Amino acid sequence: MSEALPFLTRPIMLDGSMVGDAGFDPLGFAQTEEDLMNYREAEIKHGRLAMLAAAGWPLSELFDKKIALALHMSPMVDAADRAPSILNGGLEKVNPFFWMACLVGASAIDVYGISKSKSDDESYFPGNLGFDPLGIYPKTEEGQQRMQLAEIKNGRLAMISIVGFAIQEFVFKSGVIDQSPSFF
């Protein structure tokens, strides 16, 4: 039985051997090992981006006006202190060169990750770009699995949070920090 959906049988590819595997693939997307690894890689990438966004969204609402005034620029947040987003509008205020730099940077990291995943490196696992400048990645297998599980779970939570931020600001027409001042 699937741990995530106990009323369904566990998908064949999700045998519990991968960190964070709760048997959730109700539509059966992962038909092969390669599919499963690609989906895990995508989940980690989206989770990492969402974790950055979950921190950056409220920080932009807190500090955008102060930084913009100090640099003699126009603030990006709107009059209700909402961060620019697809639902709130305001993305047109962002300099196109910034979007280009983001695209080039993300593409470079993606190409590097793809080349690393296609290499014959036995130590590679989804999401492992070999980037650990502070040396905080554990040396033991148990510690590594604990760290990978924490990243997966925090990434999943962050993806849900970002969707919540966007919907919350769209529905209530005020910034996230204004709706939850006790956190800020």
Spatial contact of 128 and 40, defined as CB atoms under 8 Å apart: no
111 a known binding residue?
no
- The pLDDT value given to residue 148: 96
Instruction: Give CA–CA dist 62/178, Å, rounded.
Output: 10
46 a known binding residue?
yes
Residue-number span of the structural domain to which 46 is assigned? 36-129+141-183
Q: Residue 173: inside a domain, yes or no?
A: yes
Q: Residue 146: inside a domain, yes or no?
A: yes
94 a known binding residue?
yes
Q: Residue 28: inside a domain, yes or no?
A: no
- The pLDDT value given to residue 182: 87
169 a known binding residue?
no
146 a known binding residue?
no
Q: Among 60, 96, 95, which residue's Cα sits nearest to residue 78?
A: 60
Residues of the chain with pLDDT under 50: none
Q: Residue 64: inside a domain, yes or no?
A: yes
Q: Residue 65: inside a domain, yes or no?
A: yes
Q: Among 127, 176, 135, 130, which residue's Cα sits nearest to residue 152?
A: 127
43 a known binding residue?
yes
Q: Number of folded domains in the chain?
A: 1
- The pLDDT value given to residue 142: 96
Q: Residue 152: inside a domain, yes or no?
A: yes
- The pLDDT value given to residue 75: 93
Tokens 């047109």, residue located:
92
Q: Residue 8: inside a domain, yes or no?
A: no
- pTM value is 0.88
72 a known binding residue?
no
Helical H runs in 7-95?
33-70
Instruction: Write the CATH number for 74.
Output: 1.10.3460
Q: Residue 18: inside a domain, yes or no?
A: no
